[in-house]
């Protein structure tokens, strides 16, 4: 078999919840084909994530149009500079819809600094306050901002009743330990299949199964063996396989726990 031979996508006939993707950014195929292929490998529910003012409405429309799709409302730290009272008003209006299951993705990204740090922090704090006021869990993006993420989350920790998930975790082990102590879950995606990501597998090792969520972050971060192609929720089985390997447990355990964890956190 050649090294690059693509494997079939495993199918265990057990339900999977995709907790983080960007369906409105997928281009390789029609949405209906992507959803059908995802269903075939067991993906039962999908949470599609808002990131920018322009897609607050479009993710909600997607969720309204499909019984098994849910969405979030929030601005990504890259867009912190675009967080205005008008944007906040739209987030608050959309949050009334039962298809919206979380505030996100919100957080800090000091790697790219697409928005100035001050504006990222302001947007993060204002959206955390919304999650507290509306009793929603949060979906957090944090990159190269460990100290500030910890400080800000700590400030909201008591008022945040439903906690949330630190998605696509690539930060330090100490930040993971802090988040776990505070009651947050951690989202793992295709990064755990990358050879270079031993630090992320180390975080996975210390994360109890009860706190693990699975996600693809599609269209980004396609897992091995499909790197190079556009990512999609139907690649989730490769992430589940890797979690079972790193946690040294059965595939069924990973499927059952992560399904339960996702249902529980997002109340879906
Ligand atoms: Zn994302």
The tens place of each residue's pLDDT in the chain, 268 residues long, gives 445 567 899 999 999 999 999 999 999 999 999 999 999 999 999 999 999 999 999 999 999 999 999 999 999 999 999 999 999 999 999 999 999 999 999 999 999 999 999 999 999 999 999 999 999 999 999 999 999 999 999 999 999 999 999 999 999 999 999 999 999 999 999 999 999 999 999 999 999 999 999 999 999 999 999 999 999 999 999 999 999 999 999 999 999 999 999 999 999 9
Residue 11 lies in a domain: no
- The confidence score (pLDDT) of residue 5 equals 61
166 bridge partner residues: 140, 186
Q: Are 89 and 66 in contact (CB under 8 A)?
A: no
Domain containing 92 — which CATH number?
3.20.20.140
pLDDT of residue 25: 97
User: Does residue 76 come out as left (phi exceeding 0), alpha (psi in the -120 to 50 range) or beta?
Assistant: beta
CB atoms within 5 A of ion ligand 1 belong to 217
User: 20 C-alpha to center of ligand 1: Å?
Assistant: 6
Domain count across the chain: 1
In a domain? residue 3: no
Angle at 38 between CA 136 and CA 240, to 5 degrees: 75
Q: Is 244 exposed, middle or buried (0-12, 13-18, 19+ CB in 10 A)?
A: middle
Ligand 1 centroid to 27 CA: how many Å? 16
165 Cα to the center of ligand 1, angstroms: 12
207: in domain: yes
CA of 22 to the centre of ligand 1 (A): 7
- 8 within some domain: no
Examine residue 10 and state whether it is found in any structural domain, yes or no: no
Residue 5 lies in a domain: no
Domain around 25? 17-266
| C-beta separation of 189 from 200 below 8 A | no
Q: Is residue 9 part of a domain?
A: no
Whole-number Å distance, alpha carbon 159 to ligand 1 midpoint, is: 25
State in Å: Cα 105 to ligand 1 middle.
7
Examine residue 139 and state whether it is found in any structural domain, yes or no.
yes
């Amino acid at each position: 078999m050649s090294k690059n031979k693509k494997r079939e996508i495993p199918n265990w006939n057990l339900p999977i919840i995709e907790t983080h993707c960007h369906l409105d950014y997928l281009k390789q195929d029609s949405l209906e084909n992507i959803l059908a292929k995802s269903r075939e490998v067991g993906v039962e529910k999908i949470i599609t994530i808002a990131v920018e003012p322009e897609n607050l409405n479009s993710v909600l429309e997607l969720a309204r149009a499909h019984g098994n799709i849910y969405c979030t409302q929030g601005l990504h730290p890259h867009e912190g500079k675009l967080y205005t009272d008008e944007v906040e008003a739209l987030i608050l209006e959309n949050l009334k819809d039962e298809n919206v299951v979380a505030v996100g993705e919100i957080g800090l990204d000091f790697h790219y600094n697409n928005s100035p740090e001050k504006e990222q922090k302001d947007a993060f704090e204002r959206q955390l306050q919304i999650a507290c006021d509306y009793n929603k869990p949060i979906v957090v993006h944090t990159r190269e901002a460990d100290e500030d993420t910890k400080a800000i989350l700590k400030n909201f920790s008591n008022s945040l009743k439903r906690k949330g998930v630190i998605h696509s975790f690539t930060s330090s082990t100490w930040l993971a330990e802090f988040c776990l102590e505070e009651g947050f879950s951690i989202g793992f995606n295709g990064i755990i299949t990358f050879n270079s990501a031993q630090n992320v597998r180390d975080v996975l090792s210390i994360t109890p199964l009860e706190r693990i969520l699975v996600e693809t972050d599609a269209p980004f971060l396609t897992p091995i063996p499909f790197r190079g192609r556009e990512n999609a929720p139907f690649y989730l089985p490769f992430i589940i396989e890797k979690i079972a390997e790193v946690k040294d447990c059965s595939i069924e355990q990973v499927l059952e726990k992560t399904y339960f964890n996702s249902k529980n956190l997002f109340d879906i």
